[in-house]
Amino acid sequence: MTKDEFYMGKALEEAKTAYAVGEIPIGAVIIYQKKAIARAYNLRESLPCATAHAELLAIEKACRALGRWRLSGCTLYVTCEPCPMCAGAIVNSRLDRVVYGCADPKAGAVRSLFQLADSPLLNHRASITAGVRADECAALLKDFFRKKRKKSDSGQP
């Protein structure tokens, strides 16, 4: 198992926690000097807050853990490709690297629809690694939405 696969496993643990509490199962972990300094999962429904994405919550925790807003030297592991909002936060927080699991063809802003996190037009570029444990990450999301549709079709909330 590679280092990236290992840390993506930690992000998957967070995603599974999100799933268990009824949130879209996306998890994120930020690593600094081989240590997980922040872990988070989606909390949009629970808080409720439109910006409570796993990546943003992890970035906030990492900033507090390091006592600075610049997250240089850090790598973000996230189970699904970040959206435009999260890609903007990746650039603004100066993360060195982003490793994600499955692509998001409807909202992905790192590779699928846009390439914000490493755009030469912006003042910071993160290194991107895509597709780490992608099948596991995608399967968790597919299962979540399949069960959600099944509940909806049966009239359950």
> Domain of 28: which CATH number?
3.40.140.10
Domain that holds residue 115: 3-143
Q: Name the active-site residue from 14, 23, 55, 81.
A: 55
pTM over 0.75: yes
Please check whether residue 154 lies inside any domain of the structure.
Answer: no
Residue 67: how many other CB atoms lie within 10 Å: 6
Please check whether residue 127 lies inside any domain of the structure.
Answer: yes
Domain count of the fold of the chain: 1
Please check whether residue 148 lies inside any domain of the structure.
Answer: no
Residue 157: predicted pLDDT: 61
Q: What is the mean pLDDT of each run of 10 residues along the chain (157 residues)?
A: 98 98 98 98 97 98 98 98 98 98 98 97 97 98 94 70
Residues belonging to the binding site are 53, 83, 86
Residues belonging to the binding site for Zn(2+) are 53, 83, 86
Please check whether residue 20 lies inside any domain of the structure.
Answer: yes
Annotation marks residue 60 as catalytic:
no
